[in-house]
Structure formats: C-alpha cells, structure tokens
Amino acid sequence: MKIIAHDPARFAALPYYPFAENWLTIDLGEGQSGQMHYLDEGPKDAPPLILFHGEPSWSYLYRKMIPLLVEAGFRCLAPDLIGFGKSDKPDDQTFYTYARHVDWLKQWRDAVVPEVAGLFCQDWGGLLGLRIVGQEPERFAFVVASNTFLPTGGGKASPGFLAWRAFAKSSPDFRIGGIMDRGCQSELSAAEIAAYDAPFPDEPSKAGARAFPQLVPVEDDKPGVAENVAAWEGLAAFDKPFLTLFGEDDPVLGLAGPQLAKRIKGAEGQPHAMLSKCGHFSQEDRPAELAQGVIDMARQAGFLA
C-alpha cells in the first residue's frame, strides 16, 4: 500500500477558498502514518465549531458557510478526512474501515480542539460525527445535522443505494466533480467542479471515495452495526440543542431528517426544516440557512453570544 500526498499544484487558485493550510500527523494503523489537512478559521479563543464533510467531498464544501460563521463569532475547524481533500490517501480500498475513520477523527479532535465544541455534519460526516456524539456527548454543546443518519443495520439497502455502492466500487467512470455537481440543485461552475476533482488526480487516489459506500452499515452483517447501536444510547439521550436541516431534493437521505429528530431528546421542539431547492450537498445549495441554524442552536445553548 502507498500513501499518496496531495499535489499542491492541483489546488492552486481554487475559487472562493482563501483559507490557510493546517496539518496534523495521524497514526493510520499497521505502522503507517499520514498527514490530515484541516481548516482553522476565526479567532483561536472563539467558540469552536467542527464541520465534518462526507462522501466524496472535502473542506471545500464549507467555503460558503465558513465566512458567515466566522463573522457570527465562531472558530471554524473543518478537517479533510483521510483519503479526501488535501489529506493523505492510502491507495488500498480495504484499508479504509468505519472504525479507522472514527479513530482518525478522534485523534484530530483530541489534538486540535479538545474543548467542548459545536458540530455541523452532513453525509458520512454524520455517520462519523453522530457516532462520536453518542460516545462522548459531554464534549458537544449542540449539533446541527443535514442529510445524514446513524444506521444500525436491520434493513436491506435500497436498489438505488445498491447501484451507487456498485458504481463507486468499480465503475471506470468515477469522476468526483461530476458526482458533486449531480448532487446539487444549484449549478456548479466548471472551476468549482475542477476543485472537487483536484484531490483525485488518478485512480489510486480515489480508493477512499470508492470505499465509503461499501462501509455504510445498512445490513446486519456490516461492521459498525454494534458500535452504532451502542452509540445510539448516548445520542438519543443527548439533551442539548439538536437541529435537522435536510434537503427536500435529496433522493437518498432527504426523508431521514424526521426519523433522526424524533429519536434525540435535544431535538424535541426545535425548528427542524426540509429545505426547498436543496439537494444532497446542502452546503452548496443553502449555505446561509445552514449557517443560521448553527448560529441559532449555539445561542440557544449559551455557547455563542
């Protein structure tokens, strides 16, 4: 297995991404280490807000939200998951596991933002972030979730998801920028599509993006089911503000918002919303509404003035 580092030339002059680079060495396991890239915007003494991306995006997805959130008074921290963005990319699909992704993020969290923080998560950012909330609820002041869930098996994957899983695993035409564009209701520019392609110059660099759909524990025999069942105990009891803002045009996870909200104590009575003209990548389609939801939850929690 090789660890692929990012090519800085592919990230030169990205549109609307004027953010400084930050790096942390991560123990990947099996004697391997890698560099995790993350954004750290806003005053270092401001209330910290963690922004977790999912499949197959990277911190570029938060370029529209971060300025709004920093202006509101947050310190915004957005890591690129291992295998994505500017972070290092093991080129072996089988090396990526649900448990390892959680461990890598916990290493980053413990090193960079060990204090209590707010969380915004979407897609796999929620499969990872919500598990961590369930395991360590005392470390989170509030949560805003969009187009995500914490699955625990017990079902059968839909035909649409099975098709996506198969496509991601082996399709020879796996172009990340095009996938991102199709998942939005707003139209991405050619430069923005290129920015989503930037982390993936060749087939080996796409191993993490191809692996993620294989790891979703929809079926009972998938690793992660037991861990998510256990995490749901803490997540369901989470009594601090919890808001769901889902896209009504997300064909995969749009309907999961009400299911998520009704199971979490802190979600009771919150102004949950299905956002119109909003696809799977809600950060692209409705960044202002998502940012305002974060601000509202932080103020309700007494976390932000």
Strand partners, 79: 38
Burial of 248 (0-12, 13-18, 19+ CB in 10 A): middle
Give the separation between CA 85 and CA 221, rounded to whole angstroms: 30
Burial of 160 (0-12, 13-18, 19+ CB in 10 A): exposed
**Dihedrals φ, ψ of 112, to 5°?**
-100, -40
Pairing between strand 89-90 and 3-4? Answer: antiparallel
Catalytic residue, candidates 53, 250, 272, 285: 250
Catalytic residue, candidates 80, 88, 123, 249: 123
**Dihedrals φ, ψ of 76, to 5°?**
-100, 125
> In angstroms, how far apart are the furthest CA atoms of the chain?
50
56 CB contacts (<8 Å, ≥6 apart)?
Answer: 84, 176, 179, 180, 196, 200, 209, 212
- Are the C-beta atoms of residues 176 and 196 closer than 8 Å to each other? yes
CA gyration radius for the chain? 18
Burial of 116 (0-12, 13-18, 19+ CB in 10 A): middle
Edge-first strand order for the sheet with 117-122 is: 22-29, 32-41, 75-79, 48-52, 117-122, 140-146, 242-247, 273-275
- Catalytic residue at 123? yes
- Catalytic residue at 250? yes
Catalytic residue, candidates 6, 37, 101, 280: 280
Any idea how long the chain is?
305
Query: Could you give the residue numbers annotated as active site?
Result: 123, 250, 280
